Amino acid sequence: MVVLRAHMCPGLELQLVRDLRECVCNAYLCVKALLAIRRVLLAQHTAFPVSGADLYEDLLSSTAILSTGHPRLDELLDSGLYTGELTELSGGPGTGKTQVCFGVAVHIALHLKQGVIFIDTTGGITATRLHQMLQTESSSLEEQIAALQRIHVFQLFDVFSLLDCLCSLRRSGLQPVAVGGACVRAVIIDSVSAVISPLLGTRHTEGMSLMMQVAALLKALVKDFSVAALVTNHVTRSVGGAVRPALGVSWSHLPRTRLLLEGPDRSTHSFSSLRSATLIKSSRQPCHMRVEFDLSWWSRSKEVPSAKRKHS
């Protein structure tokens, strides 16, 4: 039995159903048409069921692990960023989140020769720094230029433009930005909390909804186009002094893998480039795994490690 009720599909309101019933009473033919309409509505708007076996097959062929370019971080992430997943870096100010993002972007663009979309919401991106990192990795100018062309930068400063950006990326299938034959395999957002956290508070419900909308779009983008996403987040300090990622519980479900970056102990006056990363959420590796890494790794020169000084 097929029962046509109000509100069964979007747009199928009470009055419409009444009209349709009259139609059905008048001419038997309409039933077929009605059924067809229902079928079309269901076909167009329901989720498409996929068998687990097919899904697995697809995943096996489309999943890639993108190395971050830093051996210690790869160790922590079980060899790198997985496509189709969201990885989060959280940490306080100056803990190296942006440096890690730069390093990942450079590695993917230069060594893996894949496109990267870098969404900068803090104004923190500096192409000069990207270029420096490239110079330590490759001595060929053509390679450096090609890698720089594979990194696509969006500079956005509010959540609405972030939504616009994700929507248009989704609509275009990440394609128009992929010049030079490199398809986009990674989306980096630095930082996601900079645009979202100002919303949470005064207009809490609206802020939460916008956050979830960003999350839903991002997850769909990542799944549908099989790209890896890397986002950065701030941290909050609880009363006990323990540090945890910001944006609260609703956000905490979204990233598949979360890393907490911490800086060196600042009690002395020395400022080293040593940082530590702790795995706080993962479905593959034991949690609380911790590695130490050096931010100057990305500016190492081949002969004299960590002695390189900034020049422009």
Partner 1 sequence: MQRPVWSLPLSSAVISKLNRRGYQCTADIEHLTAGQLSTETGVKEEEASEVLDLVDHQRYPVSITALELLQREAELKPIVTFCSELDRALGGGIPLGKTIELCGVPGIGKTQLCLQLAVDVQIPECFGGLGAQCLFIDTEGTFFLERLREMAAAVVRHCSLLTEDQEQQDAMRTFTVEKILSNLFVVRCDDSMELLSQISDLPAFLSDHPEVRLIIIDSIAFPFRLHFEDLPLRTRLLLGAAHQLAALATTRNTTVVMTNQMTTRVQGEGSRLIPALGENWGHAANIRLLLQWIDCKRMATIIKSSSHMSTTVHYQINTDGFRDLSEASKRAKVQTEDQKAVGNS
Partner 2 sequence: MTPYITVTPGERGSGHAHLFARLEARRSLKDIEPRLFPDNGGPENGEVVEIFGPEGTGKTELLYLLLSRCILPLSAGGLELSVIFVDADFSLDLFRLVSILDNRLHTTAPSGGPDEALLRSCLSRLLVLHCSSSSQLLLTLHFLETSFASRPDQSLLLIDSISAFYWLDRAEGRTSYSKQEEKLNKCSELLGRLLRDYKITVFATSSSAPSPSPAPSHSSAPSPSSAPSSSAPSPSLDQDKPYLCRAWQKLVSHRLTCSKSEIVPKMATTTASSLMGPKRRRATQFTVHCSSRNKGSRINHFTVTDRGVEFITELNQD
Binders in 206-265 for partner 2, by CB under 8 A: 206, 208-213, 216, 219-220, 222-223, 234, 236, 238, 240, 242-250, 252-253, 256, 258, 262
DSSP at 250: H
- How many residues sit close enough to partner 2 to count as binding (CB under 8 A)? 86
Give, as ranges, the residues between 39 and 68 that touch partner 2 (CB under 8 A): 41-42, 45-53, 55-56, 59, 63
**Interaction partner, residue 204 (partner 1, partner 2, none; CB < 5-8 Å by kind):** partner 2
Residue 70 host element (H or E): none
**E strand or H helix at 278, and its extent?**
strand 274-281
Nearer to partner 2, 1 or 304 (CB): 1
- Is residue 273 a contact residue for partner 1 (CB under 8 A)? yes
CA-CA distance, 292 to 265, in Å (whole number)?
13
For Cα atoms 103, 131, 290, give the angle at the middle one, nearest 5 degrees.
15
Q: Which is nearer to partner 1, 65 or 165 (CB)?
A: 165
Select the span of 31-39, 69-77, 197-205, 285-293 touching partner 1 (CB under 8 A): 197-205
Residue closer to partner 2, measured from CB, 51 or 312: 51
Nearest to 63 by CA among 233, 189, 223: 223
Residue 294 buriedness (CB in 10 A; 0-12 / 13-18 / 19+): middle
124 vs 264, beta carbon nearer partner 2: 264
Token readout for 122 is 């803090």
**Site size with partner 1, rule: CB under 8 A:** 75
State how far the Cα of 285 lies from the Cα of 229, in Å rounded to an integer: 18
Smallest distance, partner 1 to C-beta of residue 284, A: 27
Q: 302 contacts which partner out of partner 2, partner 1, none, CB within 5 to 8 A by kind?
A: none
Helix (H, G, I), strand (E, B) or coil at 208: helix
Interface with partner 1 in residues 232-261 (CB under 8 A): 234-237, 246
- Which of partner 2, partner 1, none is residue 98 near (CB under 5 to 8 Å by kind)? partner 1
307, 271, 267: which is closest to 94 by C-alpha? 271
Nearest to 261 by CA among 274, 276, 281, 246: 276
Q: Supply the minimum distance, in Å, between the C-beta of residue 272 and partner 2.
A: 15
Q: Which does 17 bind (CB under 5 to 8 A by kind): partner 1, partner 2, none?
A: partner 2
- Based on CB atoms, which residue is closest to partner 1, 180 or 286? 180
Residues 6+ apart with CB under 8 A from 93: none
